[in-house]
Amino acid sequence: MTIRNILTYPEKSLMQPSAKVESIDDEIRTLITDMGETMFDAPGVGLAAPQVGVNKRVIVYNIHAGNPDDDGSTNEFKALINPEILEASGSIISEKEACLSVVDYSADVKRYETVVVKALNIDGNTIEFKADGILSVIMQHEIDHLDGILFINRISVLKRSLYKKKLAKELNSN
């Protein structure tokens, strides 16, 4: 188990689509374990493989995210391989959505209220489930990463421009 380095915007590889996983081997299993450890260490509620420099269609997420009874001590996560959204409906605003790869920034993002996701689990079995609320947001956010899309691509041009200017100023001062 290794805590991996999380890449941050403007890293170009974050904006590239990820390749489909062809076989679930020891390399993928190790990646998944490392991603789970990295996500909880960060801390975050979801993590996509491109965020740790591996452009493969793999995500992990905290299965207790949004649960008011969770005290944060369990560190249980699930992995989805080659996830895709089959159906989407409704509309919600994900308030103050943030990302481990977009440092020191959050914004309100319009998302679908409910999604149906199909993926492979770590055993290679096809699973399909309905997600709503915070889980729906996590699925959309992480699957966006696999498509080379960051949440800042889903906010207004003005807000994105302000973030980019702020980041450029911080990068130039270092």
**Which one of the listed residues 22, 27, 84, 142 is annotated catalytic?**
142
Phi and psi based region of residue 58 (left: phi greater than 0; alpha: psi -120 to 50; beta: remaining):
beta
Partner residues linked to 107 by β-bridges = 97
Does 76 qualify as catalytic in the annotation? Answer: no
Reply yes or no: is the peptide bond before residue 43 cis, omega within 30 of 0: yes
CA-to-CA dists, residue 58 to 93, 100, 103, 163, 172, angstroms: 25, 16, 22, 28, 33
Residues designated as active site: 142
